[in-house]
Amino acid sequence: MNEVKSAELMVDQRINKDNILNQVRVFAPATVANMICGFDVLGFAVEAPGDEVTMTKVKQLGVRITSIKGDDGRLPLDPEQNTVSACAMKVLEDLGLAEEFGVEIELVKHMPIGSGLGSSSASTVAGVFAVNALLGNPLTKEELLPYCIEGEKLACGHGHADNVAPALMGGITLIRSYEPLDIVPLPVPAGMYAGIVFPHVDVPTRDARQLIKERVPLKDAVVQWGNVAGLVAGLYQNDFALIGRSMQDVIIEPVRAILIPQFAEMKAIAMSYGALSFGISGSGPSVVAITQSEAVAKTITIAIKNHLDKQEIDCNTYVSAVNTEGPRLLD
Amino acid sequence: MNEVKSAELMVDQRINKDNILNQVRVFAPATVANMICGFDVLGFAVEAPGDEVTMTKVKQLGVRITSIKGDDGRLPLDPEQNTVSACAMKVLEDLGLAEEFGVEIELVKHMPIGSGLGSSSASTVAGVFAVNALLGNPLTKEELLPYCIEGEKLACGHGHADNVAPALMGGITLIRSYEPLDIVPLPVPAGMYAGIVFPHVDVPTRDARQLIKERVPLKDAVVQWGNVAGLVAGLYQNDFALIGRSMQDVIIEPVRAILIPQFAEMKAIAMSYGALSFGISGSGPSVVAITQSEAVAKTITIAIKNHLDKQEIDCNTYVSAVNTEGPRLLD
């Protein structure tokens, strides 16, 4: 966590110790990284699922995880290993408050781990947003983002921002550059919905990344950046036809789709029911249909679930508009 | 020229033979392909330089080039080899008029050949626009574009559209896809200027393309499509800072810049005088500074010319706003 620069800029003056709360409860959303054609640079947040963090100020110094629910025992309770506690601790330290009090964290995972829906990001963002809220919001979202990226590094072994940026900022985000960090919020067309299916097959993020080749044909890269440009133009123009034509991934999907049973069949179903586009969410195995209405997204997720049932593959389905808010306080 | 589909869609009904003119004179603009970060997908038209075509209806069937000025004898007069006449002939044939009359073409090149400024495209577009104007404009610009792409294939050996599309449509254009052809006009921020320098060094388009590797590192491609997305967002948001940050080419420029003497020095001069971005126009050797004002573009081209003078390299310089009109009738 050393790469996060301390938020020195007179942050002391932004902290009013009388405003520090005793407890906050925060929801942070799942995210669809890559947005099909924008590998590592695009992502959007959804309304549900997501994770929930309850953070309580306590006298005992340090950050502790007191409980994790919904993870089937897969996440570490060690505060230095768990991204939620590690990031919260780093914020407290940078703000010079680590010697004044501690915090206890309860994490409730309302979403599957290893699903390609930004599970670790949702937890990290919930934790970072929670500690900032607990302190009376001394830091802006832009200032919180580097902590979340460091959290991703801890959780996944790489500091990508295509889940944490949309989870924290809400909406559709472009990560134009990492050095320096340059996040561009993109417009969200009214009526855009995501129909998400998480088939219960195991595709760990690290494996999914390793399949991808280090070099790609330039001609494919040209197609991809033409599509990324078309998607961004379509978002600004509210042009769903252009959005649909542009959301095609000729580089990552052909490799990763092999890991996802029934991918081609699910795609055919989605397109036959009117999806604008269909592809892999993040590194999978979740898949996402982008639609122009909630009804179409629902129809597609039901049709895909029916198909997977016949193949004896369990799945979760989610239908959601783009979440333009990002994390929020509960209660 | 076989791949252009005949414009069958009741085009007969759009031709009023009483409206066919005897002569038209057309200007079509030079273009900056790639727009620095968008290799093969982006391009924009400038106000000047450009090429001029005078087209005259004559009784003798067929299309003839009667004169070419400004090409130093480098362009073919053979009507099947010259892109202007070949494209005009194809339009006449597809419209069923090739057996009714012929045309004679005078081409005046007001711009250097092999400069990286879309010289052949300007001529092709002028010719195709001229024959359509002569006929009373039976075809839309979208219908004319495939003829221009075929013309590029004849002139350059490849049917790219990143010069002909902006030369014909005007403004900044995205070629999202070739199959099917999908051209997206992008907004032109008010006040955007190009300062162009054409150093008199020989870099044939074919050689410049051959230098480029067939496979590129995925991590560079990701940077590139992040930049393309940032540029498109910046154009829509009229955000010159974002436009400048985004117009960086990490894939093509490092290879092609080697062919252009003094490239690094010219770039340093441009950036020191306030360019938003600086890079190669098309396949070079012309270079382009993108600026937020005419004055800055002028200052940069003068400073670069002074520098090249000291190196005993001749050059042409051009300062231009983005040309939003494309080709136009003269007189």
Mean pLDDT of A166-195: 96
Task: Give the pLDDT confidence score for residue B2 in this predicted structure.
Answer: 44
Q: Which domain holds residue A265?
A: 193-321
Mean pLDDT of B41-49: 96
Residues annotated in a binding site of B? 112-122
Task: Give the pLDDT confidence score for residue B53 in this predicted structure.
Answer: 96
Count Cβ–Cβ pairs < 8 Å, chain A vs chain B.
122
Query: Strand (E) positions, A157-295?
Result: 172-177, 182-186, 193-199, 215-217, 277-280, 287-291
Based on the fold, state whether residues B225 and B170 are members of the same structural domain.
no
Q: Which of B34, B162, B214, B228 to mutate to test the interface with A (most CBs of A within 10 A)?
A: B228
Rounded CA-CA distance B11/B134 in Å is: 15
Q: What is the CATH number of the domain that holds A129?
A: 3.30.230.10
Based on the fold, state whether residues A106 and A160 are members of the same structural domain.
yes
Looking at the structure of chain B, the number of domains it has is 2
pLDDT tens digits along A76-91: 888 888 899 999 999 9
Write out chain A residues lying below 8 Å of B217, CB-based: 214-215
Q: Do the Cβ atoms of B218 and A213 come within 8 Å?
A: yes
Based on the fold, state whether residues B179 and B200 are members of the same structural domain.
no
Can you tell me which residue has the tokens 């002939």?
Answer: B89
pLDDT over 60 (residue A220): yes
What ipTM was assigned to the predicted interfaces of this complex? 0.93
Among A67-81, B108-122, B137-151, B174-188, name the one with the lowest average pLDDT: A67-81
Based on the fold, state whether residues A41 and A145 are members of the same structural domain.
yes
A294 vs B151, residue with greater confidence: A294
Where does the pLDDT of residue A3 fall: very low under 50, low under 70, confident under 90, or very high at 90 and above? very low
Task: Give the pLDDT confidence score for residue A1 in this predicted structure.
Answer: 46
Based on the fold, state whether residues B38 and B90 are members of the same structural domain.
yes
Nearest to A218 among B214, B236, B245 (CB): B214
Q: How far is CA B307 from the centre of its chain?
A: 27
Task: Give the pLDDT confidence score for residue B234 in this predicted structure.
Answer: 98
Where does the pLDDT of residue A226 fall: very low under 50, low under 70, confident under 90, or very high at 90 and above? very high
- The residue out of B132, B152, B185 marking a domain boundary is B185
Q: Is residue A3 part of a domain?
A: no
Based on the fold, state whether residues A42 and A110 are members of the same structural domain.
yes
Among A247-261, A279-293, B45-59, B66-80, name the one with the lowest average pLDDT: B66-80
- Residues ≥6 apart with Cβ < 8 Å to B126: B26, B27, B28, B50, B51, B52, B53, B84, B107, B327
Percent of chain B with pLDDT over 90: 76
Rounded CA-CA distance B236/B243 in Å is: 10
Rounded CA-CA distance A193/A292 in Å is: 6
Q: How far is A90 from chain B (nearest CA, A)?
A: 29
Query: Strand (E) positions, chain B?
Result: 23-33, 42-58, 62-69, 102-109, 172-178, 181-186, 193-199, 215-217, 277-280, 287-291, 315-321, 328-329
3-class secondary structure, B93:
helix
Q: Do the Cβ atoms of B245 and A176 come within 8 Å?
A: yes
Q: Is residue A329 part of a domain?
A: no
Based on the fold, state whether residues B169 and B27 are members of the same structural domain.
yes
Query: Strand (E) positions, B119-219?
Result: 172-178, 181-186, 193-199, 215-217
Rounded CA-CA distance B167/B216 in Å is: 29
> Any catalytic annotation for residue A299?
no
Q: Do the Cβ atoms of A233 and B186 come within 8 Å?
A: yes
Rounded CA-CA distance A38/B243 in Å is: 19
Kindly report the CA angle at A44 between A43 and A50, in degrees rounded to 5? 120
Any idea of the CA torsion for A32, A36, A42, A46, to the nearest 10 degrees?
-20
Q: Do the Cβ atoms of A228 and B230 come within 8 Å?
A: no
Q: Do the Cβ atoms of B176 and A226 come within 8 Å?
A: yes
pLDDT tens digits along B182-206: 999 999 999 999 999 999 997 766 6
Mean pLDDT of B209-231: 92
Based on the fold, state whether residues A26 and A167 are members of the same structural domain.
yes
Among A133-142, B110-119, B308-317, name the one with the lowest average pLDDT: B110-119
Based on the fold, state whether residues A43 and A125 are members of the same structural domain.
yes
Based on the fold, state whether residues B19 and B132 are members of the same structural domain.
yes
Q: What is the CATH number of the domain that holds B290?
A: 3.30.70.890
- The residue out of B164, B185, B206 marking a domain boundary is B185
A172 is in an annotated binding site: no
Q: Is residue A29 part of a domain?
A: yes
Percent of chain B with pLDDT over 70: 94
Mean pLDDT of A180-198: 96
Q: Is residue B270 part of a domain?
A: yes
Where does the pLDDT of residue B312 fall: very low under 50, low under 70, confident under 90, or very high at 90 and above? very high
Task: Give the pLDDT confidence score for residue A14 in this predicted structure.
Answer: 80
Rounded CA-CA distance A268/B242 in Å is: 38
Can you tell me which residue has the tokens 């900056």?
Answer: B32
Based on the fold, state whether residues B199 and B255 are members of the same structural domain.
yes
Which residue numbers of B are catalytic? 152, 205
Task: Give the pLDDT confidence score for residue A73 in this predicted structure.
Answer: 80
Q: Is residue A330 part of a domain?
A: no
Q: Which of A193, A168, A192 is nearest to A181 (CA)?
A: A168
Helix (H) / strand (E) element for A22: namely none
Q: Is residue A259 part of a domain?
A: yes
Where does the pLDDT of residue A21 fall: very low under 50, low under 70, confident under 90, or very high at 90 and above? confident
Q: How far is B231 from chain A (nearest CA, A)?
A: 8
Q: Is residue A328 part of a domain?
A: no
- The residue out of A121, A150, A184 marking a domain boundary is A184
Q: How far is B78 from chain A (nearest CA, A)?
A: 33
Can you tell me which residue has the tokens 């020095």?
Answer: B265
